[in-house]
Amino acid sequence: MKRVRCPKCNKHITFDETHYADGQTLVFECPDCHRQFGIRIGVSQLLTTRKEEKRNPTTQEAVAEQDCGRLLVVENVFHYRQELQLQLGDNIIGRHVHGSQATLPIETRDPSVDTTHCIINVRQDRQGNFIYTLRDASTDGTGTFVALRLLAPGERLRIDDGTIITIGATTLILRAAGCEDEETTAESRQTK
């Protein structure tokens, strides 16, 4: 199942992409605002062109594309399962809203998640190991929890692979760089 977002009102529309061939154009009408918009199934030619331009990336681009870990957003009644790629520096996590400052927006209808709820800083030590530091940035009073412990305002907490973070009714799991998902590991064991 795939989701597309209405460009006018931001409403999600879900459809089964397996019924359509690559290159096929689909037209949707938003059930909320009745705006019609189209998408094309498959890989964009524009993305291919951009990849060709990046054959010789600069040092800054190479650092930006580096695997710095990811956050898994656990599916619940407010949203689907999502995977958010972390970058070096501050990763601002919050609810997706037009104009928010979140660099890792979560597509959710969870009203207890702020548009800027928490920040995960990613840096490397001298040996090249990644260090993850979490701090709360919520303003609505719901706070940020790590393993059922509420972070105090301004508190910074070092976190590792597998750390469970709760913001509002949303659960995030940190997957450090180089670590596999338990699902991926289980799937690879079954295929062997």
182: in domain: no
Same domain for 41 and 129:
no
Same domain for 150 and 107:
yes
Same domain for 66 and 17:
no
The total number of structural domains that make up the chain: 2
Task: Yes or no: say if 147 and 163 are a contact pair by the CB < 8 Å rule.
Answer: yes
**Rounded CA gap, 142 and 119, in Å?**
15
Task: Yes or no: say if 46 and 39 are a contact pair by the CB < 8 Å rule.
Answer: no
Task: Yes or no: say if 116 and 96 are a contact pair by the CB < 8 Å rule.
Answer: no
Report how far apart the first and last C-alpha atoms of the chain are (Å, whole number). 27
Sequence-distant (6+) residues with CB within 8 A of 186 are: none
Same domain for 100 and 66:
yes
Same domain for 164 and 132:
yes
Same domain for 110 and 64:
yes
Task: Output the tens digit of pLDDT for each of the chain's 192 residues.
Answer: 788 888 788 888 888 888 888 878 888 888 888 888 888 877 555 444 444 444 444 444 444 457 899 999 998 888 889 999 999 999 999 998 888 889 999 988 888 999 999 999 999 999 999 999 999 998 877 899 998 899 998 799 999 999 999 999 999 999 998 776 554 444 444 444
Supply the range of the domain harboring residue 134.
60-175
Same domain for 77 and 40:
no
Same domain for 67 and 39:
no
